[in-house]
Structure 1
Amino acid sequence: MDAWDANAEELLHRAAGTPIRVVSAALRNRALLRDALGREGFRGVLAYTLSEAIWLAGTGICDDAVVAYPSADRRALSRLVSDEHLAGRVTIMVDDIAQLDLVDAVAAPEARAELRVCLDLDCSWQALRGRIRSGARRSPLRAPEDVVRLARAVVSRPGFRLVGLQAFETQFANAHDHLPRRGLRARLHRMIQKRSERDLAARRAAVIDAVCNVTDLEFVTGGGTGSIRDTAAAHGITEVAAGSGLLGPVTLDNNSAGYRPAAFFALPVVRRPGPGTVTVAGGGYLASGPADPLRLPVPWLPEGLRLSRSEGAGQTQTPLLGATADGLALGDLVWFRHGKAGELAEHFYSYHLVRGERLVDTAPTYRGDGKTFL
């Protein structure tokens, strides 16, 4: 929690007064969400599924939950449209008129609560008709005229109220500020990054102005942790979304902000196959994304241990190599860090919250609460 506090202050410093919407996928723990939302400068949650947003709003964690992605969960939609209290606290994400049709198929406008709607702008950089891309494949909404067309459809349609715009620049979310300065790959990365930044700045500003001419918006959100300083200063942005910086996962290690590692898991040594090798139980907690070394958990303490290239992190056991292994006995713990922030919570029932040398709380994760949203 000492590292958590330091990371929260770093995020607030980089946001420079722009409110931070907490990305729940990076935490997946109600106690940590409460802690973040209780700090001045943090406001609202960016949820990753509609059922999660309903649960967080219904249990009092927050009264302002924006669902980051469109939903086709008819059961959750039915719950939302039947409860005016929830409908006033949860905002759904839309990037296609067919998603509005889906809601109306669940409940006709005259028979349900009015739903809050946010439009999702695709912020990726593309060249050669999309064959070269930087950023995630998200929304089909790119040009201002496309966004305005959908905005007008929402505004004119009964049962919906357009309240927000999301412009989440995923290509900068884990931006590595300390990439090598030499080599063709590094130069190409910097060139694409610069072009992407210029394209997004102009296109996002044009989209925000165009949509605001259609209707008044309550919020325009961008993010995430890796780009929070630039996003907070961008034209028209009223809030930034961030979460992974609070826990400081491996993917942020090269970020110039210096977020401190705050989340760890420990596995016991169960075998000693030979000199310079121990085996720990479990360990195959891989991060999502492309299959590269950044998705593997990292042995942290004791220092001097590494994964086997031929076996990696295993489902039931993980061999660790290094001279340090010879000093470990059966039952000793090896501490690891996860590649990403929130996904670790899917593997454990609770987090132990520690300040200094003192255990201050044991907080159930979503899994410990009996919840699995994806």
Structure 2
Amino acid sequence: MVSRDLRRALDGIGAPTAVIDLGAFDSNLDALAERARGLPIRIATKSLRTASAIERALEHPAYSGVLAYSVPEALTLHARGVRDIVIGYPSLDRRALADLLAEADATGTITLMIDSVAHLDVIDDVRRGLAEAGEGTAVGRSATAQHRDTAEAAAASVRVCIDVDSSFRPAEAWLGDRIHIGARRSPIREASSAAALAEQVAARPGFELVGLMFYEGQIAGTADAGRSARQAVVRALQRASIAELAERRAAVTAAVRDVAELEFVNGGGTGSFESSAVAGTLTELAAGSGLFSPALFDGYTHFRHSPAAFFATPVVRRPAPGWVTVFKGGFIASGVPGEDRAPTIAWPPGLEYSSLEGAGEVQTPLTGPGTEVLRIGDLVWFRHAKAGELAEHFNEFLVVSGATVVESWSTYRGEGLVL
């Protein structure tokens, strides 16, 4: 899992540290591009949270634009020269929205997400605040940024995208949403509700509906491999969900296109490229986790990417025969708590967590035959369960090519960004 060259690259380097295997990262760029079958890929930045990784991906011809997760992040990426930014979640951050309206060129290249008239109301309220502030007042993040005056900012047209619920509800006609499989993201689900919201956008001055987004987490983010009865059920539900969503997505898109000339219809995710790419409705796919290939993406039947992101931490104790203790290690992923949210031990083989302690905030005891090869100071390598969350624990990734650290990539945390 962790090559000898990768391990050699960290000889003598202080730990714990986070590491990117550049060869694996580039291989994953190509693998996702092949799986996309010609559709452009929008990079889901929350799964990387590292500007250099995002910029490297955007240099690949198969990748175009980003799917950011907050207005401040979008403005930060815009300041770095990234264009075509869609914010994947609605924002109620009024100061950040005012910054967006005030930033020259930003409203033309950043698209806000909505699923309710209430989101339009918040943006309009920010506009009113700018108008009341008086013409000529600078509003923005820094004295060096270019700003519109407040009168121009208040009148700026805002690009919006509608987030459409893409979960699976078996027997919805009889049970409603009592059986709901997938993320609860949006109240917009059917063609009628999507068209109604599109008409509300069209009727409001200062808004332009440019896109739709469909995220099918029950397919894209749920592993399907395995011989258990549970995994057989997962595969059956996913097949049913793919068929249901393809039909509903086509109906929603057609209804909204009757109201607005859409620039894009976004969907997919690392785990669902195969079904999403052939659906015929989407104009682009979105992915980010597949570039780092964290442990939660090991369990798919139809693809396997190369693990590219790791963290390594030293053995600091040998408390008893058959046991070692490493520094830190308790980087638990978000989601429903369970064993699959703990980091995966990547090297050496033959290690496992203590059933009574697990992965710890300050120290992590490990046991098993793999302890026999470890001495004080040796590194144990781990993979985080999820992709971008690893960047919340380190200021930088050391980037390794072959057996050499070739550069470092600052994470958002390392740049002092609170997004």
Aligned match of 2:92 = 72
For residue 199 of structure 2, the aligned residue among 124, 149, 152 is 152
Q: Give CA deviations for 1:251-291 in whole Å, capped at 9, x if unaligned.
A: 11122311011110011111111111111111110111111
RMSD: 1.3
Output one character per residue of 1:106-154: Cα deviation in whole Å (capped at 9) or x when no partner. Answer: 1139723111000000000114221212110100000110000000110
SS at match of 2:32: helix
The structure 2 residue matched to 1:206, chosen from 251, 272, 295, is: 251
Q: Does 1:135 align with 2:156?
A: no
> Mind listing any 5+ residue stretches in structure 1 that lack a counterpart?
none
- The corresponding residue for 1:114 is 157
> Retained in 2: the 8 A contact 1:83–1:113?
no
Cα contact 1:82–1:112 (8 A) shared by 2: no
SS of alignment partner, residue 416 of structure 2? coil
Aligned to 2:290: 245
Q: Which has the larger radius of gyration?
A: 2
Percent sequence identity over matched residues? 47
Residue 372 of structure 1 deviates from its aligned partner by: 2.1
Aligned residue number for residue 343 of structure 2: 297
What is the DSSP-based 3-state SS (H/G/I as helix, E as strand, rest coil) of the residue aligned with 1:133? Answer: coil
Aligned length: 370
SS class of match (1:44):
strand
Once residues 259 and 294 of structure 1 are traced to their aligned partners in structure 2, the CA distance between those partners, rounded to angstroms, is: 18
Q: Is the 8 A contact 1:285 1:296 kept in 2?
A: yes
Give 3-state SS (helix, strand or coil) of 2:309's partner.
coil
Secondary structure of the residue aligned to 1:126 is coil
Where 1:139 maps in the other structure, the secondary structure is: coil
How far apart, in 2, do the equivalents of 1:76 and 1:288 lie? 25
Which one of 40, 47, 50 corresponds to residue 26 of structure 1? 47
Structure 1 distance, partners of 2:266, 2:231, is: 30
Q: Is the counterpart of residue 327 in structure 1 residue 366 in structure 2?
A: no
Per the alignment, residue 98 of structure 1 pairs with 118
Offset, 1:84: 4.0
Q: How does 1:1-374 map to 2 (within 5 A)?
A: 1-60=22-81, 62-108=82-128, 111-127=154-170, 128-180=175-227, 182-183=228-229, 185-255=230-300, 256-373=302-419
Counterparts of 2:193 and 2:66 in 1: how far apart (Å)?
27
CA offsets, 1:272-328, max 9 Å, x none? 111111111111101111112211001111111111122111111111111221331
Q: Distance in 1 between matches of 2:324 and 2:44?
A: 37
Q: 1:178 to 1:186 in 2, by over 3 A?
A: closer
Instruction: With a CA cutoff of 8 Å and minimum separation of 6, indicate the structure with the bigger relative contact order.
Output: 2
Partners in 2 of 1:353 and 1:336 — Cα distance?
16
| TM-score for both structures, normalised by structure 1 | 0.96
> Residues 352 and 367 of structure 2 are in contact (CA less than 8 Å); yes or no, is this contact kept in structure 1?
yes
- Rounded Cα–Cα distance in structure 2 between residues aligned with 1:340 and 1:179: 20
| TM-superposed deviation, 1:245 | 0.6
* Cα displacement (A) at 1:244: 0.6
Code of the residue aligned with 1:363 in structure 2: it is W
Mapped to 1, the partners of 2:232 and 2:376 lie a distance apart of: 47
- Cα pair 1:58 1:86 within 8 Å, conserved: no
C-alpha contact (below 8 Å) 1:134/1:196 kept by paired residues: no
Kept in 1: contact 2:66–2:85 (CA 8 A): yes
Q: Secondary structure at the match of 1:69?
A: coil
1:212 Cα deviation from its structure 2 partner: 0.6
Contact (CA 8 Å) 2:190, 2:252: kept in 1 or not?
yes
Give the Cα separation in 1 of the matches to 2:236 and 2:382: 34
Moved over 3 A (4+): none
Q: Distance in 2 between matches of 1:354 and 1:186?
A: 36
Letter of the structure 2 residue corresponding to residue 121 of structure 1: V
Paired residues of 2:242 and 2:275 also in contact (CA < 8 A): no
SS in structure 2 opposite 1:132? coil
Task: Assess if the C-alpha contact under 8 Å between 2:224 and 2:234 holds in 1.
Answer: no
Distance 2:270 2:238 in 1: 16
**Residues 15 and 240 of structure 1 are in contact (CA less than 8 Å); yes or no, is this contact kept in structure 2?**
yes
TM-score (norm 2): 0.86
Paired amino acid for 1:293: E
Task: State the match for 2:17 in structure 1.
Answer: none
**Where in structure 2 are there 5+ consecutive unaligned residues?**
1-21, 132-150
